[in-house]
Every structure is written in structure tokens, then in C-alpha cells.
Amino acid sequence: MNGGSSCSRRILSARRVALLAAAVGGIGAAVLVIGPNFAPNADPFGISAQAQNLTDNAQQSPQRPVGFADIVAKVKPSVISVRVKMERKADSNFNEDELPFPPGSPFERFFHRFGMPNLPNRGKEIITGQGSGFFISQDGYAVTNNHVVENAENVTVTTDDGKTYSAKVIGTDPRTDLALIKVNGSNFPFVKLSDNTPRVGDWVLAVGNPFGLGGTVTAGIVSARGRDIGAGPYDDFIQIDAPVNKGNSGGPAFDVDGNVIGVNTAIFSPSGGSVGIAFAIPADTVRSVISQLRNKGSVTRGWIGVEIQPVTPDIADSMGLKQATGALVSQPQADSPAVKAGIKSGDVITSVDGSDVHDARDLARRIGTMAPGTTVKLGLIHQGQQKTVTLTLGTLPAEKVASNDESSPGDSDGDLPKLGLTLAPASKVSGASGNGVVVTEVAEGGVAADHGLQVGDVILEVGGNTVSTPEDVRKSLADAAKEGKHAVLFRVKSGEETKFVALPLGKA
């Protein structure tokens, strides 16, 4: 059926072409008949002369499609293949059926040859992986991804001319997934990081080591900027459609001037292969991180000391804000610069040094690029009033590991059917602290469930009021409804995290 349809389409196209030709022929015949001073050799519009000029010019200066060969010749020698070896504990319970091919399969030999990441070598305690990278200096400093060299016992690089060198990991930054490695030697070809922000639609070239096939070049355009893919708090990826696959990680994305606009890091792919959506770390982020790794082997970042979350339209409405912008402070951290500056839970940070904060991610990224000890001015909305505070940034501490412990629900003595919640005072729930109201049941498909509330969460405030009983929650909801609010702000402690959740009113 499909073949027949395709054939019909081809036939239909041919008929349309034939009809068009016939129509043109008919018009030509009419002109021949109607033209009063027709002369077979006349060319009143000079068309033949123009055509002859075009033909002569084409013969003198043959035109060819513009390609990327000159750029590739310039930048490709700076790109390296990165191969790592790391130890793993022998797993006597390893199931051979977990691999997609049987022992001795040609596929097994192929994948082992090209060092697919995380593929076990049967009977061995060493696994290998491959990625890409590029030199940024003549004396052998090179950039790659943290996930390429993380936990590596041994790192080797292969240059475009086939030479292999041992490499040392100088420093890594898991938060941005960047790493700096060093090869002993000199006179290595290197490339520069771009000073310009690429535009959506600009050409981009990706060069790397996909599937172990080193020195591979692909081309595409910048598809989008500022992508958040959930990789970390500083997500600000460039999206490109140049084909990128496993093994391209750590390789460069070039502009048409041969400058690096980003480091290829991730792909979006249901199949595991390229579907035209890849993500690169922007050059300005790379420059900032790699500079610190080169100078001191680690990255330090500025720190305010607040837990923040986005201001959603519901939250903005419940707080009486005109716009859903800025970063909502869900909880200041103890002994932090924020606490010393008087920042409170419920404040909305709207600007940094006079520059507007778009959302929570924007605030985290901007503060993270500043050095500890920097003095900054933060614009706030505090209890509905604009204010400015000045603070000195601390040093971002090591990431906390959140506890997975959950409070026991216990017996409930109050429910809020319109929100789909059943509540109990924390003082009556085993394992809970004495503050707030514990969520003991959440109705499936209810408003609370739709907004992420879970059994064991502790409601600390409703509409800015501290609550300790279900009746307190009801009263705060009633007050918000009388004030004409369409949503009310809940301050909720979920595990080790404290956050704000805006629940809409008046919905069953």
C-alpha cells in the first residue's frame, strides 16, 4: 500500500510537470500567433544575451557550494580522543544475560574494541571508556568532561596525527561536568574559547570521537540557548543539531571562525543515538571554571546561603506580586550571609547588583560565577515591600546529602477535602517534630497531589501564618479566600528540604 501511494505521488508529480509544460507551450503558441511583429530571431528582452553572460561567467569562475573544509583543517588537529581505565570490583553475581549480545559475539568484540563506557570486560577488574577533548594551550592543557575522567585510574589521549600520550587530571568540577587534563609536551595545536555568544541559527561544527571513531566532524546549527536539562543547578546549555553520539562527550563545538562556543556534554535520545538534539556547555562557563581548575585545581563559588525555588504564577498571585519572576527564599541556612543580612523565609530576591533576576536558576547561576568575598546588593520583596540588602558572599560548601527518612503518618484528626489533604498536628505524630501540621493522607488526583504534596510532609505556614493544627490551616485558607486570593502559599518541610507550594483555592 505504501509503495503504491509513493508510486502514485511520483506519477502525479510527473503529470503536473507535463501539464505545466503543455500550458507553457500553449502560451508560447498564442504569442507566436498574436505577436504582430514576430521575428524568429528577435530577442526584445535581451534574455539570450543575459543567459550567455551567465554561462560565460560560470565557465570562467566555477561556483561550488560553500563548505567547512578550511575550518576543519584549522581546528581538527587540536581535538583529542580521551581513553580512560578504571578499576571495578569483581562481580561474581554478574549476569551474562544483561548484555544485549551473547559471549563471543562479533558485537562484543566491536564494543570492547571501541571501549564503550561502563561495559564490563568479562573476567577482568578493569573497565575502559572513551570520550573527547581539545587542547587550549600549546603546553598540553586540554578540556574534557568530568564524567569522562571521573574515577579514572589511567588517562591517555590520542592526537589527530595518531600519537598517544599519558595525561594527568588537573582538576574536575562535577557541578558543571568539566575537567582539565594535562599532557606533557610542547607545541601542541590548540584552539581558543569564543568571546561571542552564539545566536540561534548560527552554524556549528562538532568534532570528536563518537563510538571510538576519532576525528569525526559533523555540522549543524545552534538550535536554542539557555537550556535546563536537569543536570545541575548551573544548567545553561547551548542546544545544537550537529549529530553527537556516545564518545563525543568533552569534545568541542566550533563556530565558523574556528573558536569553541561550547563543550559537547549530553544528548537527548530515546534510542541512545543522535536524533539531532545535543547540549553543549557555553564557552563563558568553560572559561570561568577551567581558569580556576588551572590555577588551583578546584572551583570555589559564591554563596548566599538560602534554599530557593521559582516564583510560579500561583505563588505570585498568592503573594500579591505583579509578575512571576525572581527567586523565592524557602529557607535561609543557619549562619549564612543571608541570615546575617536579614533575609527571611518568604522573601523574593528580584535583583543582583541592580540586574533583574529572572528565576531561581538564574540567581543560582549568577551567584555561582562570583568569587567568595564579593560584596553584592540584592533587591528583595519583603512582606510586600521593596528593599535592598548588602552582603558579602561566603564560599559554597560541599553539597548536602538529603535524608530519605519519612515521618510516620500516625492518627489524623482533620481533613481538608477541597485540597485532598488529611492532616494531623505534628505533636501527635510519632517521629515528627512538635512544629507544624503533618500530611497523613493525600487524595489521588486532588489539588495537593497535583502540586507535589506527599504523606509525611510537614506544613509549617499557610498564607504567612504559622500553623500547628488542622484548624489553623482552615482558618488561614478562609482568610485568604476573604481577601480575594485565588491561591494560598504553603510553607512545607519535605524530608530535609523546605519549600513553598501555592495551592489554588475553590477547587474540588
Nine-digit cell at 64?
A: 561550488
Amino acid code (one letter) for 181: I
- Choosing from 183, 213, 241, the residue where a domain stops is 183
- Assigned domain for 20 exists: no
CA distance 364 to 357: 10
Total structural domains within the chain: 4
* Range list of β-strands (E), 159-259: 164-173, 178-183, 203-208, 216-227, 237-240, 252-254
pLDDT at 37 over 50: no
Q: Output the average pLDDT for the chain.
A: 78
pLDDT at 60 over 90: no
Q: Which of 173, 177, 241, 457 is catalytic?
A: 177
Asked if 287 and 308 sit in the same domain, the reply is no
- Assigned domain for 440 exists: yes
Asked if 312 and 291 sit in the same domain, the reply is no
- Residue matched to cell numbers 600549546: 138
Q: Which of 132, 249, 274, 412 is catalytic?
A: 249
Residue 407 designated active-site: no
Residue 249 designated active-site: yes
- Assigned domain for 34 exists: no
Asked if 288 and 306 sit in the same domain, the reply is no
Least confident of 258-267, 295-304, 398-407: 398-407
pLDDT at 47 over 90: no
CA distance 454 to 472: 19
Asked if 456 and 477 sit in the same domain, the reply is yes
Highest mean pLDDT among 75-84, 297-306, 418-427, 430-439: 75-84
CA distance 336 to 303: 8
- Give the pLDDT confidence of 225-260 residue by residue, as tens digits: 988 887 777 888 999 999 999 899 999 999 999 999
Asked if 428 and 364 sit in the same domain, the reply is no
Q: Which of 78, 81, 132, 147 is catalytic?
A: 147
* Range list of β-strands (E), 393-450: 394-395, 414-416, 421-425, 437-442
Asked if 322 and 390 sit in the same domain, the reply is yes
- Assigned domain for 191 exists: no
Asked if 83 and 178 sit in the same domain, the reply is yes
CATH of the domain at 424: 2.30.42.10
Least confident of 20-34, 81-95, 113-127, 315-329: 20-34
- Give the pLDDT confidence of 448-488 residue by residue, as tens digits: 888 888 888 899 999 888 898 888 888 888 888 777 777 88
- Give the pLDDT confidence of 91-112 residue by residue, as tens digits: 444 343 344 444 444 444 433 3
- Please give the residue range of the domain that contains residue 445: 414-504
CA distance 241 to 203: 10
- Give the pLDDT confidence of 319-373 residue by residue, as tens digits: 888 889 999 998 888 889 999 999 999 999 999 999 999 988 889 888 988 889 9
CA distance 27 to 12: 23
pLDDT at 119 over 60: no
- Is 239 in contact with 223 (CB distance < 8 Å)? yes
- Choosing from 131, 153, 183, the residue where a domain stops is 183
- Assigned domain for 190 exists: no
CATH of the domain at 287: 2.40.10.10
User: What is the pTM assigned to this prediction?
Assistant: 0.61
